[in-house]
Structure 1
Amino acid sequence: MNARIEQVVTSGKLTLDDTEYDVENNAYIVGDDDEVIVIDPAFSAEAVLKQVGEREVMAVILTDGNEHHLAEALEVAAAGEEDEEDWAPVALHRADRLLWRDYFGRLAKEESDEDDAKALRSLEPDIWLEDGGVFEIGGAQLEIVHTPGHTPGSVCVISEQLGALFSGDTLHRGRPGSIGGAYEDLRKQLNSIGALITPLPKDLRVLPGQGEETTVGEEDARWESWGALAREGDDDE
């Protein structure tokens, strides 16, 4: 196996439900000296592509459909190629299709050229991610696990060969993942996290979408205590 993991940290502002948050994002480049898969580009496609260099981007995997990922996905997929047939496929879970349609629909409304607007409205991901789906790169396998809660289509990516769990914004170090502390469906997210990490090796690295890495064992030990967050949310309703 020749695959390795590289990290690119970018930052920017993300608006959710009319509230603007400052967000720092971890994008991951997985592959070898020739080919890579990019997981969760955000805020700066240029920074991600600089790290990719001359290597070929084979796929762009989005662990959720929030706009900071969508805004950079196509540029990373194109990787400087003018012909769309040469672009890498963009992969997203179907349950986040509404987020995709909303984002590109807004772009279409801002487009003065009707043909370009129509093209934006008709855009779809090239690959619909499914639970148990597998990508291969550099001798490593990347398995998709559907983990709804942060968004309906949130996924995590597990690589046994690389000893890593790419947890996106489903799970951060020390807490369930969120944007600015806001949760879409915390109970569902906690259930997804529990089902995800319980059977995994405790020493497996967890590489989150924001913040520092951790391990499955560290987060498994904290998981039950997070139920208090969900109960607080219930009390606020």
Structure 2
Amino acid sequence: MDARIEQVVTSGKLTLDDTEYDVENNTYIVGDDDEVIVIDPAYDAEAILSEVGDREVMAVLLTDGNEHHLNAVLEVAAAGEDDEENWAPIALHRADRLLWRDFFSRLAKEEEDEDDAKALRSIEPDIWLEDGGIFEIADVQLEIVHTPGHTPGSVCVISEQLGSLFSGDTLHRGRPGSIGGVYEDLRKQLNSIGALLTPLPKDLQILPGQGEETTVGEEDSRWETWGALAQESDD
């Protein structure tokens, strides 16, 4: 098997509910010497595409529709191609469509050229992710698991062949994933995490959207202790 995982760490600012947060994001590149799939590009398209090199980007997978996963997505999907027909397809869960449309509507308002603004407002993902959906790259499979809570359309990506779970911002090392410690729907997120982890091998590597890697066993052992966080968020 020639498939491998490469990581690019980028940083920037993210605004949620009028509050600005500093965010450090993990982008993952999965593939071989010829073709790759990019998971969660953020902030610095140039750095991500530098790691991609001359390989073809076959798809861009977004684990949620928050701003930091959208601000570099078009540049990475284009990968230097001027003709949009040659861009890699962008994939997002339909439940985060509103987040997508809000982001590109804000960009459109900043455009002076009305044609450019109209084009931004009309952009949609090319693929709507579904629970159980499969992507193939370099002879390995990437399975989509819908894990709502962090956002309605949050997903994780599992590759049994690579022994890895890409958990996005659903799950970070030692805690449920969040932006600045703020949880959108923590009870639903915890239910998603529990259902996700229970059937998986304990030694499966977890590669989160932020921070350091961990394992299914480590996080599964912590899961029940996070119930207190849910009670705090209710208060």
TM-score by length of 1: 0.98
The one-letter amino acid paired with 2:104 is F
Distance 2:213 2:17 in 1: 28
Q: What SS does the corresponding residue of 2:12 show, helix, strand or coil?
A: strand
TM-score by length of 2: 0.99
Distance 1:43 1:110 in 2: 18
Q: What SS does the corresponding residue of 2:43 show, helix, strand or coil?
A: coil
Distance 1:43 1:87 in 2: 19
Q: What SS does the corresponding residue of 1:71 show, helix, strand or coil?
A: coil
Distance 2:92 2:120 in 1: 17
Q: Cα deviation per residue 1:103-127 (whole Å; 9 max; x = unaligned)?
A: 0011111111111111111110000
Distance 1:110 1:130 in 2: 32
Can you give the 5+ residue segments of structure 1 that lack an aligned partner in the other structure? none
1:52-201 to structure 2, matched below 5 A, reads: 52-201=52-201
The one-letter amino acid paired with 1:146 is H
Distance 1:225 1:203 in 2: 20
Q: Is the 8 A contact 2:183 2:233 kept in 1?
A: no
Distance 2:108 2:22 in 1: 25
Distance 1:82 1:109 in 2: 23
What residue number does 1:35 align with? 35
Q: Cα deviation per residue 1:148-203 (whole Å; 9 max; x = unaligned)?
A: 00000000000000000000000000000000100000000000000000000000
Q: What SS does the corresponding residue of 1:28 show, helix, strand or coil?
A: strand
Q: Cα deviation per residue 1:7-42 (whole Å; 9 max; x = unaligned)?
A: 000111111101111111000000000000000010
1:217-228 to structure 2, matched below 5 A, reads: 217-228=217-228
Q: CA RMSD in A?
A: 0.5
Can you give the 5+ residue segments of structure 2 that lack an aligned partner in the other structure? none
Q: Is the 8 A contact 2:169 2:177 kept in 1?
A: yes
Cα shift at 1:144: 0.2
Moved over 2 A (4+): none
Distance 1:110 1:233 in 2: 35
Distance 1:108 1:5 in 2: 34
